[in-house]
Structure 1
């Protein structure tokens, strides 16, 4: 049976959920029907008679480059896509959005790109065209994520806002300024009028969050989705005056049916529900 594989990034290995969202079946049928991937035959309302959903149409692989903060949600969406389309394999590669943009610019093989902000997506797609049609890829916003302060379970140090992170002796991790979560951290700290001298800077949000879970730092500036996915942390919301959010775009880089099917999975109602389960919200 085909299964998603994960390469690169700071994320954990792929997980599987029992079964798939029923909505995914109809979404994938619509995306693939009439393509070279599957054949479609009419059937009773409420039933799936897509031949590609009933049997394997042959191996079809889609390679997805995605921001590290999408690790858990995209693993779940990939599992649903594979369950709905036997023979499809989703290869997931996670990392910082800026690194992924550079990989795309350098010609790394990929069918789909999802970044943690529109700026890195624009950098990645600048001058690129879809093979065959010559059209430019069309990114679509599919989710938002909020910057929060991750703390140890129960918040033993009583951290309540950003100003607490500047306390003497407090050890903090954050993302490097060059990546989206680092850009948000810079904006929040500037709005609060504080500087975090000596804070460790990680290459992506998973790497910024890991030391908090391991007990190596007292707090971390990360996304809400990272805390939701963990049982080893709580979080403190940022005050409205300094709150920061980021928007996630996704784009098919090849225009193939299987690439479009993954994008449609993310954009579907079932995909939105999965993203919400993992701490992201509607764009």
Structure 2
């Protein structure tokens, strides 16, 4: 289905004027300080909290945080959990925080844990996929990244020589992908938009270069008691990609500049929750994200 977008000329990529017009239309809809920083502050008794950078957009600054195991042990494998790469994907942010609040302590004997709960706080506040420069952070994890959101976490991991063995990146696929973000991207690129079928349920995106099918399967099995797994569409696909096993598709993480390509972790996956399903609710979506991380760590603990 083609959709017009109110900014730009069809068939012509956006220039600076169109990007500024898009940015001017955005407005704050929720509060990063209250929703995220406040919860991070409550974690300081159990974990080390570090600021790894700050985003400055106009008059607003956003400090960026990682939450780390207090007793870091060089002999243990390391797990990285990232959320809010796409700020509008709510359960990614809240799932990362709830994992820290509830589940993380159960794995400290086996792993060093580091969590970046909200990589894109401006996107969180304005409910956006892009950053203010109309750049998609989840296509920008590459050298000389055009997105500060990506460059700052990449620099932090490099500076501290953190090389995760497990990386779980928490995402959602929402109805607004079709109603807003895919039409906006087509307008930005000067192309024709074709919406995809939104999967009804939870699914995973594996890295095609590090597929680890049994790892992906273990996560799906852990999530199943919490929420339903997305079935393939009539073409055997999820969001246009072939389903390679129940609830799993794959992309080239590093080639596409995805967050799951951020590290060389052996075990890596991107979660996708569908919060707009009639068969779920916000609490269940967050619980599914936590279950996915738990399933990933329980499997990896046997293999590493």
TM-score, with structure 1 as normaliser: 0.27
TM-score, with structure 2 as normaliser: 0.26
Higher Rg: 1
